[in-house]
Amino acid sequence: MKPKSEQELADVVKASAAKGTRLQIRGGGSRARLGHGVTGELLDITGLKGVSLYEPGALTIVTAAGTPLETIEKTLAKEGQRLPFEPMDHRALYGTNGKSTIGGVVAANISGPRRIQAGACRDSLIGVRFVDGEGTIIKNGGRVMKNVTGYDLVKLMAGSHGTLGVLTEVAFKVLPMPEAGATVIIEGLDNDKAGAAMSAALTAPYDVNGAAHLPATADTAARTYVRVEGFEGSVKYRSGKLKDLLAGFGDVSIEADRARSDKMWHQIRDAEAVAAGKGDIWRISVKPSDGPKLANLLGREAQIQFDWGGGLVWACVPESTNVRDVMNGIEGHATLIRSDDATAKQLGVFQPEPASLAKISAGLRSRFDPHGILNPGRMG
């Protein structure tokens, strides 16, 4: 099923609820493998597309949920603007060919390296429209920043993976594209020293908006990356200061060419260092200081990438490895991104919730989707 309008989608969901027909919600298909075990009739939202409101002067954009992400990024780029949260492209990780939709980005709360400065996807989201599990159209938030009220459902829908409602429209605040950007690169650090270097950069007064580390492999040396963006003179000054600050950690250089710097961060954003690995891929959120410790526990067989100053660890590990057990008391959330179906069924895709939180989650699902028809099996 591929509805062409919000009302048509609402009618489909209402009819499905009456029949007890389960629905598998699908956007562009770029993350089709997340949520093994999802069952139901395919509901394709890509028929809902198009930018309905864009006010560059007000820094806001409103778009249908099925609009391709690349369409929105091109629209914003024409006015020298961008989405603040740098959403990643999952196709390399999942081996898919689809195109991300903005509704899928919101549903999974996709956020890239700039999250350490700009916040997550949900922090830029100012309004949503969606259809709940009974076919009711619900609006929450605003279409422009000055009219925003009631953030609760806006925040709730971001990261709900389509289990509370089918998004039909989303509204964002956007930001100007910076004039310049540069990356400070440190060569040859081990995980612990890289963690210390990223911490030093992030706590310095130089407005860092990217801090990542790629450990050494059989083919490549270890590299640590720190990014600054803004006006050209400011970027030159801040990257120079960071080079001086980090000189004690090792061999430091500055990549001042914007195109080459951006290419590095696209590769980091899309976790390309682990995407090509053979094995299961996990996405693990921990305290930045625990990132190196986790990498050491995972051992030499794991291919690792650090982002968010060490707070986000991407890991490609031998098949069937239970990373949650390996964490051995390290607090965090481990999501199984890529594996075979048997491993996903055995370990579960998402981090198990504490009993109190699981009770709240179940209560929300029963309120928004009382018939249990929206993406059943997606989040357990």
- What CATH number should be reported for the domain holding residue 62? 3.30.465.10
Same domain, 220 and 85: no
Same domain, 185 and 210: yes
Same domain, 229 and 99: no
pLDDT-derived band of residue 203, with 50, 70 and 90 as boundaries?
very high
pLDDT-derived band of residue 175, with 50, 70 and 90 as boundaries?
very high
Same domain, 248 and 276: no
Last residue of a domain, one of 269, 289, 313: 269
- Given this model, what pLDDT does residue 144 score? 53
Q: Tell the residue number behind the tokens 């890239």, with chain if given.
A: 112
Q: Return the closest-CA partner of residue 252 out of 218, 214, 223, 292.
A: 223
pLDDT-derived band of residue 150, with 50, 70 and 90 as boundaries?
very low
Q: Is residue 145 part of a domain?
A: yes
pLDDT-derived band of residue 204, with 50, 70 and 90 as boundaries?
very high
User: Percent of the chain at pLDDT above 70?
Assistant: 95
Rounded to whole angstroms, how far apart are CA atoms 287 and 344? 25
- Given this model, what pLDDT does residue 36 score? 57
Rounded to whole angstroms, how far apart are CA atoms 375 and 164? 9
Same domain, 170 and 255: no
Same domain, 60 and 158: yes
pLDDT, averaged across the chain: 91
Q: Give me the CATH number covering residue 310.
A: 3.30.70
The predicted-structure confidence for 345-379, as pLDDT tens digits, reads as follows 899 999 888 899 889 888 889 899 999 999 887 77
Q: Kindly provide the b/e burial profile for residues 291-301, where b requires at least 16 CB atoms within 10 angstroms of the residue's own CB.
A: bbbbbeebeee
- Sign of the Cα torsion 178, 80, 28, 46 reads positive
Q: Is residue 303 part of a domain?
A: yes
269 has a pLDDT exceeding 90: yes
Q: Find the domain containing 327 and state its range.
A: 272-347
Query: Cα 196 to the chain's mean position, in Å?
Result: 25
Q: Is residue 358 part of a domain?
A: no
Mean pLDDT of 51-61: 95
Q: Is residue 380 part of a domain?
A: no
pTM, rounded to two decimals:
0.90
Q: Is residue 363 part of a domain?
A: no
Q: Is residue 163 part of a domain?
A: yes
Q: Could you give the angle at which helices 191-203 and 291-298 cross, rounded to 10 degrees?
A: 160
Q: Give me the CATH number covering residue 191.
A: 3.30.70.2190
User: Percent of the chain at pLDDT above 90?
Assistant: 75
140 has a pLDDT exceeding 90: no
Q: Is residue 353 part of a domain?
A: no
Q: Is residue 70 part of a domain?
A: yes
- Given this model, what pLDDT does residue 358 score? 86
Same domain, 119 and 247: no
Same domain, 276 and 265: no
Same domain, 263 and 302: no
The predicted-structure confidence for 40-51, as pLDDT tens digits, reads as follows 889 999 999 999
Same domain, 191 and 297: no
Last residue of a domain, one of 141, 176, 211: 176
Q: How many domains does the chain have?
A: 3
Last residue of a domain, one of 157, 176, 195: 176
Same domain, 262 and 133: no
158-162, 176-180, 226-230: range with lowest mean pLDDT: 158-162
Mean pLDDT of 275-286: 94
Rounded to whole angstroms, how far apart are CA atoms 265 and 305? 12
Same domain, 145 and 289: no
